[in-house]
Amino acid sequence: MRTQVGIIGAGPAGLMLSHLLHRQGIESVVLEAHTRQYVEQRVRAGVLEQNTTELLIETGVGARLQKEGLVHRGIELSFAGERHRIDFQDLIGRSITVYGQQEVIKDLIAARVTAGGQIYFEARGISLEGLDGPTPAIRFEADGERRELHCDFIAGCDGSHGISRASIPEGALQTFERIYPFAWLGILAEAPPASEEIIYTYHERGFALFSMRSPQITRLYLQCAPDEDIALWPDERIWQELHTRMGTRDGWRPSEGPILQKGVTGVRSLVTEPMQYGRLFLAGDSAHIVPPTGAKGMNLAIADVRVLAKGLAAFYASGSRKLLDEYSTTCLSRVWKVQRFSWWMTSMLHRCDTGDGFDHRRQLAELDYVTSSRAAAASLAENYVGLPMEGTTPRANTCEIVR
Ligand SMILES: Cc1cc2nc3c(=O)[nH]c(=O)nc-3n(C[C@H](O)[C@H](O)[C@H](O)COP(=O)(O)OP(=O)(O)OC[C@H]3O[C@@H](n4cnc5c(N)ncnc54)[C@H](O)[C@@H]3O)c2cc1C
């Protein structure tokens, strides 16, 4: 088999890359280890930066997003029993959209299938060959047959546990990592969201996050130990803890409902440098992980493939490798700014006990500052809504684009 770009992984990075390449007349084949149903049901992120929303709409995969996405003009920070609003609209004139990652995946798969794009689900035993030569290849097994896919380039979009990063020879990459001493216990509950906006809570017992995926489904998180045993968290204990941490003096608390899903996710930062080796390009979680506090993982994955698609389009149009050679440098400049923001949000909002109360008081002071200084609030807003993509200028807010 032969294609121009072989893509490993049908997550947001892999599918969006395939979609963008198709729009430039470049052929690709996507290889995914799981079934279509599995990837379409996998609940993960749900906050779209304005950049991401605009790209989905502008490239023709935003119709359902425009109907079902929830436009948020701000977020709330809650501490010491009070909620404080960060008004994105007022501060920077931009906004975010809440739309589940699994919905983005469904829309992208539908677009690829309609356009006749090739996606092999349940592709097994993938291995990469000849990465530093002119014709790399991917060996894999699908529909009970061993296959070999020859490509001009390979995009490793297979997440943090994929094989792409691991296929690069030892010593060719540098990894920067920070593992935080806590994790998130997350639930999905069948309960209409008790607030229209996302609420980040700092409490003496730890961080808590109130979010939503639709007008019927609430998504909630609690800071917990990295090795937390989910079996020790029956539903009543989860609700009690959520009410204790999130309840404010005005009587607000999240509304309860049947818990549809629960799980514990570690919190870590990781950056791989460079993000390319020979004809292999890493994109999304295969190259970097951000703590979920800044809601950036999926957005960063999409930002990477935007850069990669542009580089590949330039190569096929003119033979120039300039943009491809600059791929890592261009992406890493954004990746590190996003890491900084995600680390900052994480450090401000999680309990990380040193035992002497210093950090607790510093964090309260920081929250007080962010919610009382227009300059500090605007900095949070600018990063949360999404820094402009290289070569673009920020545009009107999402409300006008979506509605
Ligand atoms: C459990 C979890 C919860 C998360 N929750 C949040 C959240 O609440 N908020 C937030 O902002 N971000 C969250 N994230 C982060 C966000 O979902 C990711 O940053 C985003 O999915 C990255 O997209 P990606 O395409 O790079 O990788 P992925 O979405 O991981 O996609 C990679 C794809 O590659 C496939 N794959 C892996 N290995 C192979 C292989 N060997 N061969 C073929 N295919 C392979 C995988 O099945 C997957 O479909 C979460 C991540 C995880 C893992």
pLDDT confidence of residue 394 = 58
Alpha-carbon separation of residue 252 from 241, 249, 292, 349 (angstroms) = 14, 7, 24, 19
Catalytic residues: 72, 200, 292, 296, 384
pLDDT confidence of residue 176 = 97
Contact between 201 and 328 (Cβ < 8 Å)? no
Query: How far, in Å, from the CA of 220 to the mean position of ligand 1?
Result: 19
Query: How far, in Å, from the CA of 44 to the mean position of ligand 1?
Result: 8
DSSP annotation string for 30-43: EE-SS-HHHHHH--
Contact between 211 and 310 (Cβ < 8 Å)? no
Local confidence pLDDT in tens for the 403 residues of the chain: 999 999 999 999 999 999 999 999 999 999 999 999 999 999 899 999 999 999 999 999 999 999 999 999 999 999 999 999 999 999 999 999 999 999 999 999 999 999 999 999 999 999 999 999 999 999 999 989 999 999 999 999 999 999 999 999 999 999 999 999 999 999 999 999 999 999 999 999 999 999 998 899 999 999 999 999 999 999 999 999 999 999 999 999 999 999 999 999 999 999 999 999 999 999 999 999 999 999 999 999 999 999 999 999 999 999 999 999 999 999 999 999 999 999 999 999 999 877 788 999 999 999 999 999 999 999 999 999 999 987 665 555 544 444 3
Q: In which element (H, E) is residue 202 found?
A: strand 199-202
Q: Whose CA is nearest to atom 36 of ligand 1?
A: 158
Contact between 22 and 129 (Cβ < 8 Å)? no
Name every protein residue with a CB atom under 6 angstroms from any ligand 1 atom: 8-14, 31-34, 39, 44-45, 47, 101, 123, 126, 157-159, 162-163, 265, 284-285, 292, 295-298, 301
Query: How far, in Å, from the CA of 94 to the mean position of ligand 1?
Result: 27
pLDDT confidence of residue 139 = 98
